[in-house]
Structures are given as C-alpha cells and as structure tokens.
Structure 1
Amino acid sequence: MILKDKTQTSSASIKLDAGIKQEHDVAFYLRRAYKNSDQIMVLNDLRIEHDGESAQIDHLIVYTYGFIVVESKSIRGEVNVNEYGEWSRSYKGQWSGMPSPIKQAELQLKLLKQYLCANTEKVIGKFLGIQQGLGARCYDVFCAISSDAIIDRSKAPKDIADKLVKSEFVTDALDTKMNFIKFYQLAAKIADTRPTFNQEELQHLCQFLLGNTLQQESNAVNEMPEVWPAPTNMTAAANASVQQPNQRAAVNKPDMVVAKPLAKAVQHTPISAQCKHCGQCTGLNAQSGRFGYYVQCGSCGGNTPLKRPCPACNSPNTKVSRTKSVYRLVCTDCSMPTTFILNSN
C-alpha cells in the first residue's frame, strides 16, 4: 500500500534532475509491486527528526516484520566498490571517490530506529498487559542504482554487494529480504521467530511517522519513468522533436498505465542555466544554433541546450523563446513561462 507518494518536483540543475528521475523510477517500481498489499506500506520522501538531527529518507518500507530504507542513487557511467566498502565512480573516463550511499542509508535507518524506540508507547501497544518493543524488529537497507550504470562489485564485501541493486530489481531484492512465508509452509512458520506487526499496528505506526514531522506536500507519483528524459539525452532531444509520453509508453511498455499531466501550476520561479559537462552556473554565454538556443560554458567550452522539462508540470513538451536578452522556457501543456537566469560573468 502506498501511504505517501513520491513528490513531483523539478530542479534547475541537470544533475539534481537526474537524481529526481531516479527516485521517481524507484517509486514507480515500488508502486507497481506493493500498491495493493496490506502487509507492505511504502512511504516516499519521508522526513524524520529526532534529538536535534534529521533524515530525509527516499523510500521507507514498513512491513509485517520491520523496516527497510531504500536509498536511490543516480549514477551514470561506472561505479566500483572495493574490498573495504569504499566507492568510486567514473564520468567520461575520469575516476573519483564518492560517499557510500549504503552508509548514508544506514545512518538514516539508525536515526529512524532511535526515533521509534524513544516513542515506543505511542507507536505500538501492549500484549497481555506487557508493553511491546521495537528494538528486535528487522531493520535493513538497500541502495537502488540507475539501471544504465555499470556496477563492479566483484571485490565488495558480501554484505554490501547484497544491498546494491539496480532499480528494476529493487522489488525482487525486497521480496527476498522480507521473506513472507507461504501459508502452507507450516514448518517454516513455526521456525520463524520474527516478531510481527498486525495490519492495525502497521497503519498506526505509519500514521505516527507521517503525522509527527512536517512532510513535503506530494502529488500522485507518475507511473511512467520514461516521462523523465535522461540527462545525457538532452542534446538529442534538442536535435529532434520530443515524442509524446503516451506514445513512448505505447511502444515500449504497452501494459503501463499512462499518467496524465499535472494540473496547471502557479507562476514558477526563474531557473538558472547550468553547464551539463562541468556543473558551472557562471560564465555561460547564450548562443543560437540550428537546433535551438543553448549556452556555452566559459570554463570547459561545452554546450548545454536550454530546452528541458517544464519545472511546473514536468511535461517534456516545451520550447525556448527569446525577447531581446531575456530567454524563456514555455510549456505547451500548461502554458507556464519560466525565465532563465544566465550568469555570463
């Protein structure tokens, strides 16, 4: 059951947009697998605050036996995890170190456990007059990596390699970890000593998590990950007409439910142009070419199209217009104009 959907957001940063797309993809797979389940509750974009600290959890699975934190990570290129659990990634042939998303998820899970255990009496009731506890429940983490990444986990410790999955396999890994025993496996049920939540306790626990910390307002998750174009395809998108999301779903995934565009949004704040090659937001010079408007980076010399999804409704059906020195992104679906901030200095 999906108790908190993935928030529909957009960013002025191409790199941040890639992270948002990855979270939407994982939320899509979770929704498809568990939206009709009474034993598995999914909370996306969950914020936890406890003892002066806070954690923003991408995806929290609350199920009959415990809790699983899923950290979404957008990685393009290759990622390597060595025998010490240290992470590195490549971008255009250049390797660099990166923080471990597994360790990040473990820190989030630790704060969640501390928060729940500190509020045990509010979260779960008594059984035969004895207060039940939360410390012995199952607590696990996974990291869902972009499907187009190349992962080398050959030297990674087994406990880390087992927690690292690609987006399309995340529910398979979750099902294995949750290990729901079939009703006819009587011997296995007797041997299973994991304490359980009943359905009422699951609902109450999740409502406690949602109600005791200010959460971001969310809209229904888009059930079609392809609606978010991959960052590396933005140049190709500028070179050809953008295909309608429903047409793309009909060709690639005919069984998918097509999500309708969101309702017309309010006036959106200006967005800053950013070089997709080096991430610079300054020293950008606006140019016009045969495929439309773009900015040229003064630092690395790379070109970045100004065309991108609408920040108000996430529609890819946009066009860039210019009036004197002012550049605007206009959405053909919601008609919302958004001004670009071009920092040429």
Structure 2
Amino acid sequence: MRGCLGAGNHLFQWLCVVLLWLGRIACAATEQGDSGMIEKQYDERAKTGDRLRDAGNAAEARMAFYLHRAFRDDPDFLVLNDLRLVDPEQPEHNGSPGVAQIDHLVVHRWGMFIIESKSVSDSVTVRGDASSGDEWTHLYQGRHTGIPSPIRQAEFQGRFLRSFLQRHRQDLLGKMPLALRPLARLLVKTDQRGFMNLPMQIIVAISDKGKIDRKNGWEPPSEPFRTYVCKADQVDAKIREEYEKHRAASGLLSRPDGGYGIWWMEAEECKEVAKFLKEQHSDEGRRGASAQKPAATRATAPPSPKRASVGKDGVCRECKSVKLTAHWGKGYYWKCQDCGANTTMPTVCSSCGAKGDRGKGVRIRKDGERYERVCEGCGCEELVWSG
C-alpha cells in the first residue's frame, strides 16, 4: 500500500483511511489559523565570474522570489530555500557523509514539493529514453550540451530526505490514532507514524525566458504523483493544483484518489518538520559565497587543540564516565568512550524544569559540532556537547 502504513492489503488501506479521518475530527478546530511563512530565506550570492554558476544562482534567486510572493502569507505552506543536508548514515561511495542539496522545498500537511531550478536562456530539450527515463539537452548560443536529468536529481533528494526524516520520526510525528494502534502493531510491528510513504512531488522550474522542447510528446511521470516541468512563474499554480488534490482526497466524505490524501501531518507537526530541517541545514561546501555575509576576520593566533566540551548533565548512564562523544540518528545521544553504552541527551530545562516531548517544548538543536538544549517556554539555551 502506498499510504499510512505501506501495507499491500486494500481492505487494510480503506480501514486506515476511515480511522485516520475519524481520528482527525477532534483536531479539526486546531488545523485552522496557523500563519504560513518562508521558513528559510534564500541567501543572495555574490558574483563569482563563472557564467554557469552565476546563472544558476540567479535562477534560484528568481524562484525564491516567486515562492515568497505566492506563499509568504499562506497558512498552508512552509518554504525552505537553498537547503543543504549532510547525513553520515547515508554515506557517499567513498565513505564521506552523504549530502543532499535542495534548491527549494515546500512543506504542507499532505507531503512536500522539491523544486529544482534550471537556468535556461535559450532552450532545453527533453526526450524519453528506452527505459521510461528522460534525457535532457541544453541549447546555448547554438551549441547543444547534454545535462543530468533534474528529475532524477530530485528523486535522489526525495529518497535522501525521507530516510533522513524517518530516523527522527519519534521526535517529529505522533502515533497512529488510538483505534488503529493494535492493528498497526499487528501488521507492521509499530504504531509510530513515519515518513517513508510521504508524498514527495517534483517540479523542475525553467528560467522565465527559456523554452521547453518536449520531443515526441514527452510527458513527465505521473505515478505515484504528478511531476511537472514548467516555467518558474508557473510553479506556485502547480503546487496549489496538487495540494488541492491532496486536501480534497483527505475529506471525510471523499474517495481517496490513488495515494492522494492518505499520508498526512497535523498542522503543528508540519511546522515542527520545517523547523527541524532548517536547524539541520549545513552551509559548508555551498556554491559561491553569500553576498549578505562579509568576509570573516580571522584571528592571527595559532588555533588551540580541539577538546570536547560536555554539558553538566553529560554522564554515561552505565559507568558514569564523562568521556563521551555526541551522535545523532535515532534522536540525539552520547556514546561512552569507556564502556561503549549510548545515553540519550536529556530534554529537561535546567532553568524552569520543563520537559520535552517528541521534540516539543524542550529540544536538542544541532549546529555543526555543537549540540544545544533549547527551551521554548523560558528561552533558555544550554550547551550539551561541543566537539
């Protein structure tokens, strides 16, 4: 099944839908009135002198402008521009941490849109290949050049993002509705909702002045959800069109349309996911310098050797050692260098005593090699670990 639990049984799929709808009735009053926002703005970059790089940056900036204009006041969408995620749990072929660079991500309650910006001043030609794939050719100043498929690039980003979020599902999503939990535990061994079936739709945005040449009537994929290749100024309309399909299919009296409307988040969970992704963004290795950030003034003194700094409550739960290293994956935790045990980083505010629950109220925030505990109630920020 493509939906809430991934089961292949049609009867179970319909049962999931009915119970999910019933579980949402009580929450309907809280799903209105939240303010939409641009969760992560686009950072303008200085000119580099590289024609292709500068053109690509300009295309991303233009797309960010269109998204800001369309969704800055819309309560249904959260936008993250220029998002770069690094994940050691999804390593590259050479063993280095895996990286996904997403030009633009739009988060909504029934899924996400990955928008891949492409700078095209003349035209781009797309044709099908012999295996239901797509081949792309860019025409510039009379010269044809093959380019990687942006659809395939975005598909990789979607798989990376699902896996990345799935490991943090307990911090970001709640459990299945109470009536569905016994059945969920029986069939899939857990009643925890997850991200592996999150609808991840792709839109390839071509520069306003570019021409799209679809050879032999080529059409982008439509399964399991619709993919679009369009001009940048048409993207917001495509997003709204698909969003309405999800919303309509999720209604209590509606019949599900394929996978539309089956997977879902509460409005508050949607905001938590967007906030989490913003916090996980890594600036390292970005293409070109930011025009908004002045050159850093570097100290002339030689750097001192790096030493890990552990917060006052950093103690191994097994042997009480303070020789710890910080890790993240299924939550945030320390690994003891003496006995090897894992210890969850506590989410209890030392200032007001508030306790965190699935990443809400008091949460761990990772910023590079720093791990901080942040209390949303009193605003206290505490160092948990620093490499």
TM-score by length of 2: 0.52
- Does residue 3 (structure 1) correspond to residue 68 (structure 2)? The answer is no
Which residue type is aligned with residue 163 of structure 1? Y
Correspondence for 2:128: 83
- Does residue 92 (structure 1) correspond to residue 141 (structure 2)? The answer is yes
CA contact (8 A) 1:69 1:109 kept: yes
- Does residue 53 (structure 1) correspond to residue 101 (structure 2)? The answer is no
Which residue type is aligned with residue 125 of structure 2? N
Which residue type is aligned with residue 111 of structure 1? F
CA contact (8 A) 2:110 2:261 kept: no
- What SS does the corresponding residue of 1:68 show, helix, strand or coil? strand
> Residues 193 and 78 of structure 1: is their aligned pair in 2 closer, same or farther, counting only changes over 3 Å?
closer
Where in structure 2 are there 5+ consecutive unaligned residues?
1-36, 91-96, 182-190, 285-290, 298-387
- What SS does the corresponding residue of 2:137 show, helix, strand or coil? strand
Which of 59, 73, 78 in structure 2 is aligned with 1:41? 78
CA contact (8 A) 1:62 1:202 kept: yes
- 2: CA distance, partners of 1:193 / 1:267: 47
Which residue type is aligned with residue 96 of structure 1? T
Question: How far has the Cα of 1:193 moved from its partner?
Answer: 4.3
Alignment of 1:188-199 (within 5 A): 188=254, 193-199=261-267
Let me know the Cα RMSD of the aligned residues.
2.8
Correspondence for 1:164: 229
**Higher deviation after alignment, 92-101 or 157-166:** 157-166
Correspondence for 2:22: none
When the two structures are aligned, how many residues end up with a matched partner? 223
Question: How far has the Cα of 1:266 moved from its partner?
Answer: 4.1
- What SS does the corresponding residue of 1:82 show, helix, strand or coil? strand
> Residues 158 and 267 of structure 1: is their aligned pair in 2 closer, same or farther, counting only changes over 3 Å?
closer
Cα deviation code 1:103-151 (max 9, x no counterpart): 1111111110111112211221224363112222211111101111111
- Does residue 143 (structure 1) correspond to residue 204 (structure 2)? The answer is yes
Which residue type is aligned with residue 106 of structure 2? I
- Does residue 210 (structure 1) correspond to residue 290 (structure 2)? The answer is no
- 2: CA distance, partners of 1:14 / 1:268: 26
Question: How far has the Cα of 1:14 moved from its partner?
Answer: 2.9
CA contact (8 A) 1:43 1:60 kept: yes
- 2: CA distance, partners of 1:150 / 1:160: 20
Cα deviation code 1:164-212 (max 9, x no counterpart): 11111011111122225469x8743777642221211011111211223
- Does residue 175 (structure 1) correspond to residue 236 (structure 2)? The answer is no
Which residue type is aligned with residue 152 of structure 2? K
- 2: CA distance, partners of 1:145 / 1:206: 25
Question: How far has the Cα of 1:81 moved from its partner?
Answer: 0.7
Which of 150, 168, 189 in structure 2 is aligned with 1:101? 150
- What SS does the corresponding residue of 1:136 show, helix, strand or coil? coil
**Higher deviation after alignment, 22-31 or 171-180:** 171-180
Correspondence for 1:228: none
CA contact (8 A) 1:41 1:63 kept: yes
- 1: CA distance, partners of 2:215 / 2:209: 18
- 2: CA distance, partners of 1:268 / 1:213: 20
CA contact (8 A) 2:173 2:193 kept: yes
> Residues 16 and 79 of structure 1: is their aligned pair in 2 closer, same or farther, counting only changes over 3 Å?
same
